Structure 1
Amino acid sequence: MDIVLVTTFIAALFLVIGAAEPLAARLQLPYSVILAILGICIGASAIFFLQTELTDALNPVAEAILGLPIRSNVFLYVFLPTLLFQATLGMNLRRMMDDWVPILVMAVVAVVVATISVGYALSWASGLPLAACLLVGAIVSTTDPSAVVSIFRSISAPRRLARIIEGESLLNDAAAIALFGLFMGFVMLGVPNPSLADALARFPLLIAGGAFTGWLAARLSVRLMALFGGHELAVLSTSVALPYLAYVVAEQSVGASGVIAVVAAGLTLNLVGPGRLPPQTWTNLRELWDVLAHWAGALIFILAALLIPRMLEEVRIADFVLIGVVTLAAIAARAIILFGLLPLLTLLRLSPTVERPYRVAILWGGLRGAVTLALALAVTESFRVPDGIQRVVGILATGFTLFTLIAQGSTLRWIITRLGLDRLSPIDEALSRQVIAVALQTVREDVARTTENYDLSREIVRSEAKRFGERLDDAVKAAEDSTDILDRDRVTLGLIALAGHERDTILAKVRERTISARMAEQVLSDADRLIEGARTGGRNGYNRAARRSVAYGRGFRAAGFLQSRFHISGPLARMTADRFELLLSQRLVLRDLGAFIDGRIRRIHGRRLSDLLHELLSRRVEAVETALEGLRLQYPGYAEELERRFIRRTALRLEEREYAAMREDGLIEAEIYTKLLEDLASRRAAAEERPHLDIALQRIELVRQFPLFADLDDASLKRLSQAFRTRYVNAGETVVSKDTDAKSVFFIASGAVELETAGQTWRLGRGEMFGQMAILMKKTRRTEVRSIAPSTLLVLDEARFVRLLNRSGALQDAVRASAEKRGIDAVTLLPANSHRP
Structure 2
Amino acid sequence: MARVPGSHSRSGLTVGEIAFFNVVIQSALARPAMESGLHIAHLVAGIIVLLLIAAATMAVTEKLRFPFTVALVLVGLALAALADSYPHTFGAFEELEISSGLILYVFLPTLVFESAFHLDARQLRRDLVPVLVLAVPGLLVSTFIIGGVVSLATPIPFPAALLLGAILSATDPVAVIALFKRLGAPRRLTVLVEGESLFNDATSIVLSRVLVGILVAGSVSTESVVNGVVDFVVVFVGGLVVGWLMALLTGYLLTLVEGHHPIEITLTTVLAYASFLVAEELLHVSGVMAAVAAALTFSGWGWIRVSPAVRAYLEHFWEYMAFIATALIFLMVGLKVELSSLLHILPLLLWVILGMLLSRLVVVFGLMPLVERLPGAQPVGFGYKAVIYWGGLRGAIALAIALSLPAFEYSETFTPLVMGAVLFTLLVPALSIDRLVHRLALDRPSLADRFARVEGNLLAKRRAQSRIPELMEGGLFSGSIARQLQLNSDREMLTIREELAQLRRAELNPNEERRLLYLRGFAEEQALFIDMFNKGHLSESSYLRLRQQVALNLDAVRFQDELDDIAFSEKRRTTLDRLRLRLLGRFSSLAGYLERLRIRQVAMDYEMAWGRYQSCGRVLERFDELVETESVSAQVASEVRDQYVSWYDGARDRLDQMAEQFPEFVADMQERLGQRLILLAEVEAIDEQLEHGTLPPGIAETLEHEMARQLRSLRGHEVKRLRVEPGELLRKVPFLREIPEAEFAGLAARMRSLTVAQGDDIITQGETGFSLYLIARGVVRVIRHDGGKSRQLATLMAGDFCGEMALLHQAPRSATVRAVTPCSLYELRRQDVLQAMHEYPAIRDALEKAARDRQVAQRDE
Counterpart residue type for residue 128 of structure 2: W
Residue 327 (structure 1) shift: 1.1
2:568 corresponds to which of 546, 558, 565 = 546
TM-score, with structure 1 as normaliser: 0.82
**Aligned residue for 2:21?**
none
1:171 corresponds to which of 199, 208, 214 = 199
1:676 corresponds to which of 688, 700, 703 = 703
**Aligned residue for 2:271?**
242
Partner-residue secondary structure (3-state), 2:437: helix
1:345-384 alignment runs, 5 A limit = 346=372, 352-379=378-405, 384=407
Aligned residues: 794
**Aligned residue for 2:284?**
255
Larger mean Cα displacement after TM superposition, 465-474 or 706-715: 706-715
1:74 corresponds to which of 99, 102, 106 = 102
- Residue 338 in 1 paired to residue 364 in 2? yes
Counterpart residue type for residue 693 of structure 2: G
Larger mean Cα displacement after TM superposition, 603-612 or 22-31: 603-612
- Residue 396 in 1 paired to residue 417 in 2? yes
Counterpart residue type for residue 78 of structure 1: V
**Aligned residue for 2:311?**
282
1:605-624 alignment runs, 5 A limit = 605=632, 609-624=636-651
Counterpart residue type for residue 77 of structure 2: I
Residue 328 (structure 1) shift: 1.1
Residue 643 (structure 1) shift: 2.7
- Residue 628 in 1 paired to residue 655 in 2? yes
Residues 314-365 of structure 1 deviation map (CA, whole Å, 9 limit, x = unaligned): 3454x21111111112222222233333334556869653433333322212
RMSD of Structure 2 on Structure 1 (CA): 4.6
**Aligned residue for 1:54?**
none
**Aligned residue for 1:655?**
682
Supply the distance in 2 between the matched residues of 1:773 and 1:575 (Cα, whole angstroms): 23
Larger mean Cα displacement after TM superposition, 397-406 or 366-375: 366-375
1:324 corresponds to which of 331, 337, 350 = 350
Residue 394 (structure 1) shift: 2.2
Residue 443 (structure 1) shift: 3.4
**Aligned residue for 1:52?**
none
Residue 271 (structure 1) shift: 1.4
1:194-213 alignment runs, 5 A limit = 197-213=226-242
Residue pair 1:373, 1:398 contacting (<8 A) in 2 also: yes
2:466 corresponds to which of 424, 449, 453 = 449
Larger mean Cα displacement after TM superposition, 665-674 or 720-729: 720-729
Residues 155-189 of structure 1 deviation map (CA, whole Å, 9 limit, x = unaligned): 76654443333222211122222232234345555
Residues 212-238 of structure 1 deviation map (CA, whole Å, 9 limit, x = unaligned): 111111111111122111101110011
Percent identity, aligned pairs only?
Answer: 22
Counterpart residue type for residue 542 of structure 2: M
- Residue 12 in 1 paired to residue 29 in 2? no
Residue 688 (structure 1) shift: 4.8
- Residue 63 in 1 paired to residue 63 in 2? no
Counterpart residue type for residue 240 of structure 1: T
Residue pair 1:217, 1:242 contacting (<8 A) in 2 also: yes
Residue pair 1:630, 1:791 contacting (<8 A) in 2 also: no
Residue 411 (structure 1) shift: 1.1
Partner-residue secondary structure (3-state), 1:338: helix
Residue 513 (structure 1) shift: 2.7
Larger mean Cα displacement after TM superposition, 665-674 or 62-71: 62-71
Residue pair 1:560, 1:726 contacting (<8 A) in 2 also: no
Residue 673 (structure 1) shift: 1.5
Change (3 A) 1:303 1:268: same
Structure 1 unaligned segments of length 5 or more: list them.
50-57, 826-837
2:497 corresponds to which of 460, 463, 473 = 473
Larger mean Cα displacement after TM superposition, 169-178 or 794-803: 794-803
**Aligned residue for 2:544?**
521
Residue 252 (structure 1) shift: 0.9
1:68-147 alignment runs, 5 A limit = 68-144=96-172
Partner-residue secondary structure (3-state), 1:238: helix
Counterpart residue type for residue 576 of structure 1: I
Residue 272 (structure 1) shift: 1.1
- Residue 411 in 1 paired to residue 432 in 2? yes
1:366-765 alignment runs, 5 A limit = 366-379=392-405, 384-385=407-408, 389-424=410-445, 428-429=446-447, 431-436=448-453, 438-440=455-457, 442-443=459-460, 445-455=462-472, 459-460=483-484, 463-464=487-488, 466-474=490-498, 477=501, 484-487=508-511, 489-535=512-558, 541=564, 544-548=566-570, 555=577, 559=581, 562=584, 566=588, 568-581=591-604, 583-584=606-607, 586-588=609-611, 589-590=614-615, 591-604=617-630, 605=632, 609-684=636-711, 686-688=713-715, 691-693=718-720, 697-698=723-724, 700=726, 703=729, 706=732, 713=741, 715-716=743-744, 719=747, 728=756, 730=758, 747=775, 749-751=777-779
Residue 22 (structure 1) shift: 3.5
Residues 660-712 of structure 1 deviation map (CA, whole Å, 9 limit, x = unaligned): 110001111122223323443454455458534276x5252662684858956
Supply the distance in 2 between the matched residues of 1:117 and 1:807 (Cα, whole angstroms): 74
Residue 94 (structure 1) shift: 2.9
Residues 613-651 of structure 1 deviation map (CA, whole Å, 9 limit, x = unaligned): 444333333333333343344443333333322322222
Change (3 A) 1:583 1:601: farther
Residues 138-162 of structure 1 deviation map (CA, whole Å, 9 limit, x = unaligned): 3222223666656665676654443
Supply the distance in 1 between the matched residues of 2:642 and 2:260 (Cα, whole angstroms): 47
Counterpart residue type for residue 498 of structure 2: D
Supply the distance in 2 between the matched residues of 1:516 and 1:725 (Cα, whole angstroms): 25
**Aligned residue for 2:16?**
none
TM-score, with structure 2 as normaliser: 0.80
Change (3 A) 1:637 1:447: same
Residues 524-547 of structure 1 deviation map (CA, whole Å, 9 limit, x = unaligned): 2233234344446656536x5222
2:72 corresponds to which of 12, 24, 35 = 35
Residue 727 (structure 1) shift: 8.0
Supply the distance in 2 between the matched residues of 1:772 and 1:464 (Cα, whole angstroms): 77
Counterpart residue type for residue 118 of structure 1: I
Residue 299 (structure 1) shift: 1.6
1:214 corresponds to which of 215, 238, 243 = 243
Change (3 A) 1:472 1:332: closer
Residue 305 (structure 1) shift: 2.1
Residue pair 2:750, 2:828 contacting (<8 A) in 1 also: no
Larger mean Cα displacement after TM superposition, 29-38 or 327-336: 327-336
1:45 corresponds to which of 74, 77, 82 = 82
Supply the distance in 2 between the matched residues of 1:536 and 1:261 (Cα, whole angstroms): 35
Residue 198 (structure 1) shift: 4.6
Residues 492-534 of structure 1 deviation map (CA, whole Å, 9 limit, x = unaligned): 3322221222112111222233333353323322332343444
- Residue 228 in 1 paired to residue 250 in 2? no
Residue pair 1:747, 1:795 contacting (<8 A) in 2 also: no
Supply the distance in 2 between the matched residues of 1:792 and 1:533 (Cα, whole angstroms): 36
Change (3 A) 1:303 1:755: closer
Residue pair 1:577, 1:693 contacting (<8 A) in 2 also: no
Residue pair 1:118, 1:134 contacting (<8 A) in 2 also: yes
**Aligned residue for 2:476?**
none
Residue pair 1:206, 1:257 contacting (<8 A) in 2 also: yes
Larger mean Cα displacement after TM superposition, 781-790 or 557-566: 781-790
Residue pair 2:107, 2:325 contacting (<8 A) in 1 also: yes
Structure 2 unaligned segments of length 5 or more: list them.
1-37, 473-478, 785-790
Partner-residue secondary structure (3-state), 2:352: helix
Residue 579 (structure 1) shift: 3.5
Supply the distance in 1 between the matched residues of 2:602 and 2:51 (Cα, whole angstroms): 49
Supply the distance in 1 between the matched residues of 2:795 and 2:217 (Cα, whole angstroms): 75
